[in-house]
Amino acid sequence: MSVKSRIVRWILNIAVIIAFWIRGQFKSDWFQWQKTDSKANTWRALDMVSGRSGFYFSRQAFSFDRPGYVEEYARQLKRIAGFGHAEGEAQSMPYQGTFWNRLGFGSRVNGQQSGYFGTFNDRSNYRYSFDGCHVPYWFLSLLFACGGLPLLLRLRAQRRRSRRLRANQCLSCGYDLRATSGRCPECGQLINSSIAHA
């Protein structure tokens, strides 16, 4: 992959984060993936929600004791299988209280919990885990910005190299090498064979 295409992808990633940041002030987007396994009586889901201050990621796993209840649970949630998208009201940061929460970070690991689904006379016990984390937009933007800096420096170096090759200059210091062979008289760098024959 060329440096230019990497930079374009880097700029697009930052633009997408900023777009979600702006949209998150008014609406939230829920990107959902879910899988219902009738044989194992399990329902799993991964969610990504864009909120006012960042992205909220969650993982849910439910395991039912009795067959048939997992499908009913998924139907009631309207999340049976596959990928989905829903739109909702703007979501605030779900975690409060600590220094890291004020910066926009948060996480929750519930571990294994238990509950029941169905009516009192006809119900199934289940075990579940519901873990989540919140990552602020500013951190993702900073992460992509710092990740793009080496790409920009590399692109600058490639452009300088090609410009110096075309102008028959030393690749190290930029000295004019039209009347020189062997080494650069300015810095002592060996002259590239492509420059010597240009």
Q: How confident is the model at residue 193 (pLDDT cuts 50, 70, 90)?
A: low
What CA dihedral angle connects 80, 44, 132 and 11, to 10 degrees? -70
Helix H or strand E encompassing 150? helix 137-166
pLDDT confidence of residue 86: 86
pLDDT digit string (tens) for 5-46? 777 888 888 888 899 999 989 999 989 999 888 888 888 999
Q: pTM to 2 decimals?
A: 0.64
Confidence of residue 179 (pLDDT cuts 50, 70, 90): confident
